[in-house]
Structure 1
């Protein structure tokens, strides 16, 4: 896959994520939270040039820094996301202003890592970007699923249990 396609995939995923963060959204498909990160990992690992062969050690260190940045950004992103339950038991999420700040800091750090690599003559390729994004999504999704399990209905369910969704009668 070409670098342009990888960049377009990363931009499309980020645009989708950011657009979904600015409005409240029901948290669904808790069993499949790992699929998008897995696809991004597959796309990043299957291509050549994830590590610069001329600067192997330093490029691995930069890739590691990208992964750590992704993991920290995903954790901060999840912890700054508001999670609540509606009276019917459905769980909702919405990013806050702090979430936007996490995105800004994360992008700045990633640009700084790319700049450091460029100054050292290291080319990480777009696979590192996709791998860092996958790490962010994986950690964020995992934490949100975990947080959603502990969220109780806003009206307080009897006996302290989590409210179950009400089934609607169909005619």
Structure 2
């Protein structure tokens, strides 16, 4: 992808993710939660210039640092997300103020890594950022799925054959 398309893709994904995290949303532990991170990883890994050929060691170290920041951001985001179980057994989530702080620190660290790379003369591609964002989303999804299993009482609705079924409210005879 061109630099402009990369920037637009990253901005769109980050914008979508950040705005969605502060609305209450039902957690889907199925395969759908894994689609976006995997698609981002595939797009990032298809780009040929992730590692600068002239500064390989520095580029690999920067990529490793970027991945660590992405993973830690995902862990922090998952643990600062509020989850709750509704009466019908559906599990919901919503970001908190601490989630904003996690995102702020993660973005600041990424900007700092970009600055270090620029100071070292390392050509940096947005594919590393896409890969780190994929790691962030993947780790968050995994931890939230684990937290959902711990939050949902055994025997609670939510098994695959009952996901879309809601129980009618009991009404007292008139």
Is the TM value for this pair above 0.5? Answer: yes
Aligned 8 A contact 1:89 1:162 in 2: no
Distance change (3 Å), C-alpha of 1:26 and 1:59: same
Which ranges in structure 1 are unaligned for 5 or more consecutive residues? 153-159
Deviation of 1:29 after TM superposition, in Å, equals: 4.8
RMSD: 1.6
Instruction: Provide the C-alpha distance between the structure 1 equivalents of 2:35 and 2:55, rounded to a whole number of angstroms.
Output: 32
Residue in 1 that maps onto 2:85:
85
CA distance in 1, matches of 2:29, 2:131: 23
Partner residue of 2:136?
Answer: 136
TM-score, with length taken from structure 2: 0.89
Structure 2 unaligned residues grouped into runs of 5+ = 169-174
Match of 2:112 in 1: 112
TM alignment of 1:1-150, pairs within 5 A = 1-150=1-150
Runs of 4+ in 1 over 6 A off after TM superposition: none
2:171 maps to none
Q: 2:37 touches 2:138 (CA, 8 Å); kept in 1?
A: yes
Deviation at 1:162, TM superposition (A): 4.5
Equivalent-residue separation in structure 1 for 2:139 and 2:56 (angstroms) = 27
How does the TM-score come out when normalised to structure 1? 0.90
